[in-house]
Structure 1
Amino acid sequence: MSARTKARKRALDILFSADVRGDTVPQALAAAAERAVSEPERQASWLYAREIVDGVIDNSDEIDDEIETHSREWKLDRMPAVDRALLRIATWEILFNDEVPTGVAITEAVDLAKELSTEESSGFIHGVLARIERSS
């Protein structure tokens, strides 16, 4: 597993935990940062995970608007928490990170959905992200 794939999983953990616990994303990020200090072997994945989460925080309104616009009448609060987090990560990569090819962002999100979410989630996430890609 590449460092960026691991970083996406760490970012997913942070966004998901904030959502499920009712914490703010900055609170969850701060807690993860404290844990990261004691995990030097995971430093490479931590740096990109933090970049993702910071990007989601900084652009949350635009990211959520894009997701809701392209999710064909599915409101964010109706989506599973894992799907919301994956969509936010991939949407940030598509719209705000020129270093990641759009196809990679979509594939990574779909693969994580297959591993961590419902049977229907990977297809749903792929469709939403493909529509975001076409509109950007």
Structure 2
Amino acid sequence: MSARTKARKRALDILFSSDVRGDDLAVTLAAEAARAAGEPAREASWLYAREIVDGIIDHGDEIDEQIVTHARDWKLERMPTIDRALLRIGTWEILHNDEVPTAVAIDEAVELAKEFSTDDSGSFVHGVLARIARSN
């Protein structure tokens, strides 16, 4: 598994934890940063995970607007927590990370949705991210 795939999983954990607990994302990220300081062997995945979460914090309103616009009658609150987090990660990568090809961002989000969410989540995440990619 690549360092970026591990980082996406780590970012997913941070977003999911923050959402479920109702904590501010910046607070959850700071707690994870403190924990990561004691895990130098996982530094490669931590750096990209932090970049993802910082990007979502910085562009959260724009990212959520893109998701809601392209989710076709789905409100953010109705989406499974995992799907919402993966859509945020994928949308940030599509819109704000030129180093990651759009197809890779979509594929990684879909694979994580298949692994961690509902049976329908892979196709749902793919559909939303593909519409976001086409519109930008």
- TM-score, normalised to structure 2, is 0.99
Q: Which residue of 2 aligns with 1:82?
A: 82
1:70 Cα deviation after fit: 0.1
Q: Which residue of 2 aligns with 1:33?
A: 33
- Displacement over 2 Å in runs of 4+: none
| Whole-Å separation in 2 of the counterparts to 1:53 and 1:60 | 10
Identity %: 74
- Residue 59 of structure 2 is aligned to residue 54 of structure 1: no
Tell me the amino acid that sits aligned with residue 21 of structure 1: R
Tell me the amino acid that sits aligned with residue 65 of structure 2: D
- Residue 16 of structure 2 is aligned to residue 7 of structure 1: no
Q: Give RMSD over aligned pairs.
A: 0.3
Please, which runs of 5 or more residues in structure 1 have no aligned partner?
none
Q: Which residue of 1 aligns with 2:133?
A: 133
Q: Which residue of 2 aligns with 1:109?
A: 109
- The aligned length equals 136
1:66 Cα deviation after fit: 0.1
Tell me the amino acid that sits aligned with residue 11 of structure 1: A
Q: Which residue of 2 aligns with 1:97?
A: 97
Three-state SS of the structure 2 residue aligned to 1:23 is coil
1:42 Cα deviation after fit: 0.2
> Can you list the C-alpha shifts for 1:16-52, whole angstroms capped at 9, x where unaligned?
0000001010011001001101111100000000000
- TM-score, normalised to structure 1, is 0.99
Tell me the amino acid that sits aligned with residue 120 of structure 1: D
| Whole-Å separation in 2 of the counterparts to 1:32 and 1:12 | 12
